[in-house]
Amino acid sequence: MSIEFRKDLFADERDDNLNEIGKPKLRQDIEGHVTGRTAYYDDHLFDGLLHMRCLRSPHHHARVRSVDVAEAERMAGVRRVVRPADVPSNLNTLLSLIGFGKDDEQLLSDPVVRYRGEPILAIIADTEAIARSACAAVRVDWEVLPHVLDVEEAIAPGAPSVNPAYPDNTFTYAPYDHVKLRFGDVAAGFAQADHIVEAEYEMSPIEQAPMETCGAIAAPETADRFVCHTGTQALFFSLGTTAKLLDIASSRLHFIGGTVGGGFGGKVDSITEPMAVLGAMLTGRPVKFQWDRMEEMQVGAPRGAERWRIKDGVMADGRIVARQFTGFFDAGAYTRLSSYAGHKGTGHLPGPYTIPNVASNVFCVFTNRTPATAMRGFGITGVDFALECHMDRVAEAVGVDPVSLRILNAYRDGDMKAHRRSAKNCALVECCQVAAGKAGWGLSAQDMAASSLTGTTAARAAIPETALDDEGQEGARRAGRCASADPAPGTRRLPAGVQGRAMAAVPVQRPDMQILAERIGHKIPEGGPAPAAAPTAPARLPNDPAAAAPGPALPAAAADPAPVPPAAAPTPPAVPEPTAPYAPEKPFSRGVKRPGVSRFLSGSRRR
């Protein structure tokens, strides 16, 4: 089967005389794979290797009243019982390395467990079998606590509080307890529509199920360092997380990885590496911490469950004039990467369709389920599933051909997205045409003549007047005011043409969503790292133009002399202060390189 590339369909748009792209290549690592010589983390042999196993909670939510390890400690071959107090800095959240979210999870939990399978201690022994038997010999007195396993039950009044860092069971997207998107006025759109189509969609958690389970081997190295072979997908994330949890300089950690026996997102959580290194620190011996298949399935963080409610206002001819979302991401008991899923899911709305009125509330909810994390387009796949099911439902309700409905509503180049960014390089119309052709699905001449390159209008390219509301303010639920799942009609209006809330005073939280030339290569402005969370001073000056004012990427909007919010007034560039000598307040508390740390990290060795 031959592959058609978009460049074939848009041949006039650019000249792609590429030497490598589009041509078959051998994978550079394939010879190792077929000869069995590829060395995964577990393919490194150590003399005197010890094995670590965790004792895990059988309950969804419980308090440890007491633990009796006397029998386990007496067993022949048991080298060490690792307790929560042995973890030097036993509280972390994965994205703290990029300054996002509150520390909310312990490596070994004490005294409360918040999901089934959460570890409360670990045992290091000569063999895996001994470690297993020793864990079985530990006696724990559990006080079982009420639990909640459904996202909407978790945000109902009186629900058990899952995670003390977020007592309302919702991740905080300051100043709201959900991610908010407002574009136009959905209430006006619904009033104008001929049909209202409303439905709910759900997706279960999905385990990545890599063939190689999560694991790491750590061993003492020379010069007071530790080597760690790991199957992680995020080597430097794991290194930074290990340094933080164990409260040691990251220069004492020598991480070796990059060969992953299948990841799919499930190997970013950086749990096995700090455990293995801690084991090596406590025993002075090489220690392997490897999940067995049951652990991989039970405690390996899956793609989180999602629930989406979509309400569309549709005209009789199939044009969608309003689309409203309520989304729930089930984070499980701890944040991991689910907070990011909320942003990604919202960033994907309202799908690849130009809809003049969009409103969305997306909640990242804590429940007593296994914490969720990355998996193959997490935050996107579930939304797409819901969106495209809903498109079919709309087509049926209105009596329009489903492919035709998509072509009618698809983004055209130049259209304004609900995120106030211009759509460009659109190809949904062409995808529909090619797919219909392959499937022998008849399309009208009008649909076959449609193109992503044409069809935008001044109205489609403009930012409409937008209805705002302040519901769902952080902490409102605790005060007895529940955030309504339905966005209420706006009480305030944001004038047409305005990009949105001024972001100048908000610290940068989503580096990958704002591609700024100044950020590339993690450059830190002269004058040393600015405090990331200082709300009064912009952490990085380059924020202002891109976030608060119509950016250069939006010629249509830039030409619009719209009133610019006061906070977005161009800030004069700060005078660079002389570079202060590097003096960390805490060793490597931030995960990125800083000027003057090492010439091997700064890239200057290339010169």
Partner 1 sequence: MPKTPLAFTLNDAETGIFVDDGQNLLEALRRGAGDLSPKYGCGQGTCGACTVLIDGVPHLSCLTLAEAVAGRRMDTTAGLAEGAELHPLQRAFMEGFAAQCGYCTPGMLMAAKALLAANPRPSREEVIEAISGNLCRCTGYEPIVTAILEAAAKLQGRAA
Closest approach of partner 1 to the CB of residue 6, in Å: 21
492 binds partner 1 (CB under 8 A): no
Spatial distance between the Cα atoms of 90 and 81, rounded to a whole number of angstroms: 16
Return the residue of 236, 264, 385, 441 that touches partner 1, per CB under 8 A.
264
40 binds partner 1 (CB under 8 A): yes
33 binds partner 1 (CB under 8 A): yes
Residue among 301, 429, 325 at smallest CA distance from 386: 325
28 binds partner 1 (CB under 8 A): no
Site string for partner 1, 116-155 (x = CB under 8 A): -----------x-x--------------------------
What is the pairing mode between strands 179-183 and 195-203? unpaired
Residue 179, strand partner residues? 362
Spatial distance between the Cα atoms of 303 and 308, rounded to a whole number of angstroms: 15
Closest approach of partner 1 to the CB of residue 221, in Å: 21
Amino acid in position 161: S
Closest approach of partner 1 to the CB of residue 30, in Å: 5
Helix (H) or strand (E) holding 8: helix 6-9
205 binds partner 1 (CB under 8 A): no
261 binds partner 1 (CB under 8 A): yes
Return the residue of 32, 88, 111, 399 that touches partner 1, per CB under 8 A.
32
Spatial distance between the Cα atoms of 507 and 194, rounded to a whole number of angstroms: 43
What is the SS3 assignment for 53? Answer: strand
Question: How many positions of this chain bind partner 1 (CB under 8 A)?
Answer: 33
Return the residue of 4, 16, 39, 196 that touches partner 1, per CB under 8 A.
39
Nearer to partner 1, 33 or 478 (CB): 33
Return the residue of 2, 35, 536, 604 that touches partner 1, per CB under 8 A.
35
Closest approach of partner 1 to the CB of residue 271, in Å: 19
Return the residue of 90, 169, 213, 242 that touches partner 1, per CB under 8 A.
213
Return the residue of 4, 16, 29, 392 that touches partner 1, per CB under 8 A.
29
Spatial distance between the Cα atoms of 278 and 294, rounded to a whole number of angstroms: 23
Spatial distance between the Cα atoms of 142 and 59, rounded to a whole number of angstroms: 9
Stretch that binds partner 1, among 22-30, 312-320, 454-462, 547-555 (CB under 8 A): 22-30
Contact of 140 with 66, CB cutoff 8 Å: yes
529 binds partner 1 (CB under 8 A): no
1 binds partner 1 (CB under 8 A): no
Closest approach of partner 1 to the CB of residue 29, in Å: 7
Of 370-429, binders to partner 1 (CB under 8 A) are none
Of 268-327, binders to partner 1 (CB under 8 A) are 290, 292-293
Helix (H) or strand (E) holding 64: strand 62-68
Residue among 232, 231, 281, 235 at smallest CA distance from 254: 235
Spatial distance between the Cα atoms of 182 and 412, rounded to a whole number of angstroms: 21
Spatial distance between the Cα atoms of 370 and 300, rounded to a whole number of angstroms: 8
Site string for partner 1, 232-251 (x = CB under 8 A): --------------------
Nearer to partner 1, 26 or 445 (CB): 26
**Residue 319 has which token pair?**
């044009």
Distances (CA, A) of 398 to 315, 317, 450: 8, 7, 21
Spatial distance between the Cα atoms of 543 and 556, rounded to a whole number of angstroms: 21
Contact of 145 with 109, CB cutoff 8 Å: no
Nearer to partner 1, 216 or 463 (CB): 216
Helix (H) or strand (E) holding 346: helix 338-347
Footprint on this chain of partner 1 (rule: CB under 8 A): 26-27, 29-40, 42-43, 45, 127, 129, 208-213, 260-264, 290, 292-293
